Amino acid sequence: MSAAPDPLRRRLLRIGLSATASAALPLAGCAAPAGDAPAPRRLRAAPARVSLLGDPWPDTDVWAYEGSVPGPLLRVRQSATLRVRVVNDLAAPTSVHWHGVRLPNAMDGVPHVTQPPIAPHGGTFDYAFACPDAGTFWYHPHAASHVQVAMGLHGALIVDEAAPPAVDRDVLWVLDDWRLRRDGSVSPDFGSAFDATHAGRIGNTVTLDGRLPGRFAVAAGERLRLRLLNVANARIFALRFEGHSPSLIATDGMPCEPHAPDGGLVVLGPGMRADVLLDCAGAPGATTRVVDEFVARDAYEVVTLAHGTGRRRAAPLRDPLVLPPNPVPVPDLARAVRHRIAFTGGMGGAMDARGMAAARGGRGAMRHAWAIDGRSATEHDHRHEPLLLLDRGATYVVEFVNDTAWWHPIHLHGHSFRLLSRNGAPLPRTLVADTTLLPPRSRGEVAFVADNPGDWMLHCHVLEHQASGMMATVRVA
Ligand code: C2O
Ligand code: CU
């Protein structure tokens, strides 16, 4: 299993980001050039064959960016411009959405809303945008996402702070969940009515950085900045680091006051990220488990932290690590305009009559199983008016009401919101995110300044829910 880039690669990357970049350095695979160097980084989406399971298992046919799953790690300095030329060598139209980046609407990668789809068999699209916030972000298609992301199209985008905080290692773990058949192939049952109306496409094989996880080597006393990213269609992870006291330092890339996660579990719905400060607490030679306890009765080990025989330092560090804040506008709660958005549908819920009426005539391939405020839209079916019309610059408090029996990670494009309350109870600390995971029959309030003009998607990031009606747009003008 490979973690974040090895030190040599990172050193080269740093050199590449400086003005002295030399064409002789193997930088093409590392990052987009910063500053004025306009050469875009290529991201070619095409079928590929990779080893997810390792020997002796067969390879898996996937769709991949540049032949690898996850796709290449893109890394830029905060406020630098990322330039990427996407080449579509798939047989299906695609696009690339830069999840969590507060970028101009035309770069958001939503087919039929912000750009035409990138044509199959050789179509291209050039993305170029500044990355205003440091943190852990990611990219993935926004066309038939429930198929394309599941087939392997996704990658991480790390935006580095101007002065990255000191840690021993900066590590990325891309968590994924695959539904594989016995021959190692991806099960082709995409968009089943069962998955759509229940928890989404839950798989049978969890991977870390595109491989079956085994042991992850650490040193006693080592301090890791662990960037966790959940790219699964539907699986929610609740990670317990046995024998450790992880500290949450950023949610969806946005710094927070360092704190122990609730119940010791780092919870990640699909699309979500967490930066965790992990001071390796095992003795030299010790192994400790990282366990996914989201479904307590089905808890399983994701990966083992294997402490080497040496020590990085005599005892784990204890001082907190506070990341510098990002320039996200602060909501003006006293003047906020309030909205309430209800999510309905799914097994055990009922699509109300209004929702079914609105759904009739939809051209999405999947059935309309869910609705947002009574309206059900699939795959960018934008005959609907925007769900909300927001005045640019104003603060909004939106209460999301999950009136279903299922979990939903609700994601807003183009903005990051502050999480205000859960079931009416204020949160104990300020958390900023682009996705909020709503438990069944719960409500959660978020607040944000609608400062980014354009039509932005608001949807559930369980991709089967998104594809079967849990999607809308909000317009900021
Ligand atoms: Cu990561 Cu609209 O999605
Ligand atoms: Cu959902």
Mean pLDDT per 10-residue run, the chain (477 residues)?
34 29 33 58 98 94 98 98 98 98 98 97 98 98 98 98 97 98 96 94 98 96 98 98 98 98 98 98 98 97 97 95 98 98 87 45 59 79 80 98 97 98 97 98 98 98 96 96
Instruction: Examine residue 70 and say whether the peptide bond preceding it is cis (omega within 30 degrees of 0).
Output: yes
What's the one-letter identity of residue 477?
A
**Residue 22 contacts by C-beta under 8 Å, 6 or more apart in sequence?**
none
pLDDT at 313: 95
CATH fold of 170-311 reads: Immunoglobulin-like (2.60.40)
Q: Which residues pair with 396 in a beta bridge?
A: 337, 448
Nearest alpha carbon, ligand 1 atom 1: 99
CATH 2.60.40.420 fits 333-476, yes or no: yes
CATH 2.60.40.420 is held by the domain 28-164: yes
* 98 Cα–ligand 1 center, Å: 8
Distances (CA, A) of 324 to 149, 168, 256: 32, 18, 9
Contact 409, 231 (CB under 8 A): no
Ligand 1 pocket, CB under 6 A: 97, 99, 140, 142, 271, 411, 413, 457, 459, 461
Q: Whose CA is nearest to atom 3 of ligand 1?
A: 99
Residue type, 242: E
Residue type (1 letter), 407: W
Atom nearest to 413 CA in ligand 1: 2
Give the contacts of 109 (CB within 8 A, at least 6 positions apart). Answer: 95, 96, 97, 98, 115, 127, 139, 141, 142
DSSP string over 246-260: -EEEEETTEEEEEEP
Predicted confidence at residue 384, as pLDDT, reads 65
First to last CA, the chain: 46
CB neighbour list of residue 143: distance below 8 Å, 6 or more residues apart: 92, 93, 94, 95, 111, 117, 379
What residue type is assigned to position 181 of the chain?
R
Q: Which residue, among 446, 438, 471, has the nearest Cα to 110 in the 3D structure?
A: 471
Of the bound ligands, which one is closest to the alpha carbon of residue 271?
A: 1
Any idea which residue has 């079967």 for tokens? Answer: 468
Q: What separation in Å is there between the alpha carbon of 408 and the centre of ligand 2?
A: 4
Ligand in closest contact with the CA of 465 = 2
pLDDT at 379: 64
Check: pTM over 0.75? Answer yes or no: yes
- At residue 423, the pLDDT reads 98
Domain-by-domain residue ranges, the chain?
28-164, 170-311, 333-476
Compute how many other C-beta atoms are within 10 angstroms of the C-beta atom of residue 77: 18
Q: How far apart are CA 72 and CA 51, in angstroms?
A: 16
CA dist., res. 308 & res. 285, Å (int): 5
Tell me the two tokens of residue 325. 């804040």
Strand order in the sheet with 205-208: 205-208, 169-178, 223-230, 273-279, 247-251, 254-259
